[in-house]
């Protein structure tokens, strides 16, 4: 094998390895994990070839950005496991706590979102009492 052939061979090996590492990090490496609790805004099964569940959850609590407006935080997520999807559907009207994994890239068979839900940790019972916000009492002004 000539020197030129060795350079081409080693260059090809390095390019293939770099491409394999890039694909692994982009699509297979779990970038982060977490848990969020909130109310399901929508949850549906969609896709042409690969059917996955896609949803949006309104997170508990509000964040006031610097502009002074109050806005709710949302989490767009995908579910590929039918069992987990059924649990989310059952708890969609009473609030759920979801465990998710975040990937840097999306794959068609994993869903349209970087956040892939793999388990439901907690479904708040509808029999839990709702905490009422106390109404301030207006006292008459005396001079």
Whether this model's pTM surpasses 0.75: no
The tens digit of pLDDT for each residue in 101-128 reads: 999 999 999 999 999 999 997 666 555 5
Q: Which domain holds residue 76?
A: 30-123
Q: Which of 41, 46, 35 is nearest to 76 (CA)?
A: 41
In a domain, 2, yes or no: no
In a domain, 135, yes or no: no
What CATH number corresponds to the domain at position 60? Answer: 2.40.50.140
CA 91/CA 54 separation, integer angstroms: 15
Count of structural domains, the chain: 1
The tens digit of pLDDT for each residue in 57-93 reads: 988 765 555 555 556 688 999 999 999 999 998 887 7
Cβ-proximal residues to 83 (8 Å cutoff; 6+ apart), any chain: none
In a domain, 99, yes or no: yes
In a domain, 52, yes or no: yes
In a domain, 46, yes or no: yes
């Amino acid at each position: 094998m000539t020197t030129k052939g060795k350079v081409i061979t080693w260059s090809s090996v390095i390019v293939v390895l770099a491409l394999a590492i890039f694909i692994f990090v982009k699509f297979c490496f779990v970038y982060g994990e977490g848990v969020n609790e909130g109310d399901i805004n929508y949850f549906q099964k969609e896709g042409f070839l690969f059917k996955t569940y896609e949803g949006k959850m309104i997170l508990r609590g509000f964040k006031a950005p610097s502009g002074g407006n109050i806005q709710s935080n949302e989490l767009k997520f995908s579910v590929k496991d039918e069992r987990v999807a059924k649990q989310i559907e059952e708890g969609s009207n009473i609030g759920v706590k979801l465990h998710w994994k975040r990937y840097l890239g999306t794959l068609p068979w994993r869903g349209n979102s970087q956040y892939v839900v793999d388990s439901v940790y907690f479904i708040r019972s509808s029999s839990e009492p709702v905490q009422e916000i106390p109404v301030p009492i207006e006292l008459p002004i005396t001079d």
